[in-house]
Amino acid sequence: MNVIMSTLNAKYIHTNLAIRYIKAYAAPEFSIEMAEYTIKDPAMNIVTDLYRRNPDVIGFSCYIWNIEETIQVMKMLKKINPDLILFAGGPEITYDVKEWLERVPEIDFIIIGEGEAAVKNLLFEIQGSKQYENLDGIAFVKEDGTFVMKPQREKLNLNEIPSPYRFPEDIPHLGKRIAYIETSRGCPFSCQFCLSSIEVGVRYFDRERIKDDIRYLMQHGARVIKFVDRTFNISRSYAMDMFQFLIDEHIPGTVFQFEITADIMRPEVIDFLNKQAPPGLFRFEIGVQSTNDRTNELVMRRQNFEKLTRTVTMVKDGQKIDQHLDLIAGLPEEDYHSFKKTFNDVFAMRPEELQLGFLKMLRGTGLRLRAKDHNYVYMNHAPYEILGNNVLPFDDIIRIKQVEDVLEKYWNAHRMDYTLEYLVTEVFETPFDLFQDFGSHWDEQGWARIGHQLEDLFKRLYQFLEEKNVPQLPVIKDLMKVDYLRNHKYKPRKPWWDERIDKQNLTSYYQAIAEQPALLGEDFAALGLSDKDLHKHTIIESISFDFTHFIQHGEIVENASVVLVYFNPKTLQCELYGARKDAFSHLPSVS
């Protein structure tokens, strides 16, 4: 019997852990072939590839991001070969099982809950006596039209599940994709918008086994390893042991990502990480979602924002770990103004990334079951994103989406860190006001419907600030120049601004720097750049404030500076050096 486990990932860099668990658990009785695609692949291409593999049975792993595309593929496959047996599982199809069987009659079986044992038992029955009613963790429609739905009776002992990380066919791809690893299943919390709240209790895999799997992944080229545990740090001892292991045995260049609950992380754990962890080794994802106490109460989310802030601040001060903080717009009783406060509360911590998402009414969650309590309106099909509720009309959702658009392009992309920090502290009343005003302008200009290069992003922000008649525009423009130049690995051909140092003065500056490189500091002088390298790999710009003071203290002091940007051809790093303009005035070579 030729069995294939398949899925459509959101992106090529993703991998599906579920089909690997099922493949590992089904062996040695069944040799399952894996076939992964992306949601961007044409359905015909996917169907063609699967058909050529000549399968008898295909199982699909289904999620909100791939369910509609997967249904299209299944319907085409069944038309081509009505005898092909199709089953489906995963968080999107585990709930509302009868509705799925009615909507997609091409599905022969739905796997309910954990799939490892359920799929293996199903394959035995397909190959054997076909007594499907004896199985647990399965749903199907009998020939007489009767629906059979049998949930799992018992959860698996996790240490009896073989490792899903040891397949030879995965080795060539480990360096190009994210490797997902699971150390536990379940979540101790009851957030009513999250599927994890449905499973009671937390189960752990054996620590030493997990460590061996991580060693294997690193040794075979994995460079981004993401832990999929819903709350990695729920057990302090477990987290500390794993942190220490990763610090001791990581291969340089590897990054580990975790979802942590920040308000339960003890200060001594952060102190340990700040002292012991190499920079860039760890990355934290922290779900804040809302700072509105009433909202958190309604979704049964326990959160101490003061302790969360302490954790995020301590981690940021340590400068070792990047943090990605999540917000959800559209939670119960969080109107536009309340969400603005949530946004500003969280932005005040200056996370490296602030992800602004919109509530999705996931099947099986308490919030979806009680949607009428808050007059929720949401999409009929995945991803079930909300269209409004009793306090947040669609007009306000549109406005918040404008914020999301420019937040992603500017803050999360780190294209203009100096500029944005100045804008949110010195120009706009709050950070939310900046992103809302600019996002609305962006939308009104129709820029959301066209592409944009790096230069366009700078020009569009500058145009917006010009139209607002911002009084600090000259300083802002100089900050934008610095941000633009330091975002390049190579010397840009033509910067986005028009006014440049005239050729005569530019020649004088280069001549002065060649004669006395210490004008730009000892570090620059130590480079020992030749006259040829100066002209080939550097740009000189004049700005209106004291550049050195700004870099050291983050303050704008009005004192014109000369800034030299060196695009190092060996390191492909951009290096900035500056000196006050009056330092050049006594030199005969400068007019």
Task: Give counts: helices (H), strands (E), the chain.
Answer: 21, 20
Residues 181 and 140 in one domain: no
- Cα 341 to Cα 167: distance, rounded to the nearest angstrom: 48
Rg (alpha carbons) of the chain, rounded to whole number: 28
Look-up: residue for tokens 């995965």? 170
Nearest to 64 by CA among 385, 367, 386: 385
Residues 195 and 116 in one domain: no
Residues 240 and 91 in one domain: no
**DSSP bridge partners of 36:** 7
Residue range 466-521, pLDDT digits in tens: 999 998 999 999 999 999 999 899 999 888 998 888 888 888 899 999 999 999 99
Residues 203 and 138 in one domain: no
Judge whether 557 and 550 are in contact, CB under 8 Å: yes
Domain count across the chain: 3
Residues 236 and 273 in one domain: yes
Judge whether 284 and 240 are in contact, CB under 8 Å: no
Judge whether 484 and 424 are in contact, CB under 8 Å: no
- In a domain, residue 43? The reply is yes
Q: DSSP of 471-495, one letter per residue?
A: TTHHHHHHHHHHHHHHT-SS--SS-
Asked which of 96, 115, 150 is the last residue of a domain, the reply is 150
Asked which of 116, 150, 184 is the last residue of a domain, the reply is 150
Question: DSSP alpha helices (H): ranges in 250-378?
Answer: 267-276, 293-298, 305-318, 336-347, 366-369
- In a domain, residue 397? The reply is no
Asked which of 124, 150, 176 is the last residue of a domain, the reply is 150
3-state SS class at 77: helix
CATH label of the domain that carries residue 62:
3.40.50.280
3-state SS class at 529: coil
- In a domain, residue 462? The reply is no
Residues 365 and 337 in one domain: yes
- Cα 496 to Cα 481: distance, rounded to the nearest angstrom: 8
- In a domain, residue 205? The reply is yes
Residues 198 and 276 in one domain: yes
The one-letter amino acid at 235: S
- In a domain, residue 29? The reply is yes
Question: DSSP alpha helices (H): ranges in 319-453?
Answer: 336-347, 366-369, 394-406, 417-422, 431-444
Give the max Cα distance, the chain.
Answer: 99
Residue range 367-382, pLDDT digits in tens: 999 999 999 999 999 9
Residues 122 and 217 in one domain: no
Residues 139 and 176 in one domain: no
Nearest to 41 by CA among 19, 15, 12, 64: 12
- In a domain, residue 108? The reply is yes
pLDDT by 10-residue block (mean), the chain, 591 residues: 97 96 98 98 98 98 97 98 98 95 97 95 96 96 95 89 96 96 92 85 93 98 96 92 97 96 95 97 97 96 95 97 97 98 98 97 95 97 97 98 97 96 97 98 93 93 96 95 93 87 88 92 94 93 94 93 94 93 72 48
Residues 112 and 180 in one domain: no
The one-letter amino acid at 73: V
- In a domain, residue 38? The reply is yes
What is the reported pLDDT for 553? 93
Nearest to 316 by CA among 346, 344, 289: 346
- Cα 103 to Cα 75: distance, rounded to the nearest angstrom: 11
Residues 146 and 237 in one domain: no
What is the reported pLDDT for 333? 97
Cβ-based burial of 268 (10 A; exposed 0-12, middle 13-18, buried ≥19): exposed
Distance from the Cα of residue 276 to its chain's centroid: 25
3-state SS class at 232: coil
| Side-chain-facing half-sphere of 269: CA atoms under 13 Å | 21
- Cα 546 to Cα 553: distance, rounded to the nearest angstrom: 11
Structural domain of 98:
3-150
- Cα 37 to Cα 11: distance, rounded to the nearest angstrom: 9
CATH label of the domain that carries residue 351:
3.80.30.20
- In a domain, residue 438? The reply is no
Judge whether 397 and 386 are in contact, CB under 8 Å: yes
Judge whether 354 and 286 are in contact, CB under 8 Å: no
Q: For the chain, how many residues are written?
A: 591
Residues 80 and 170 in one domain: no
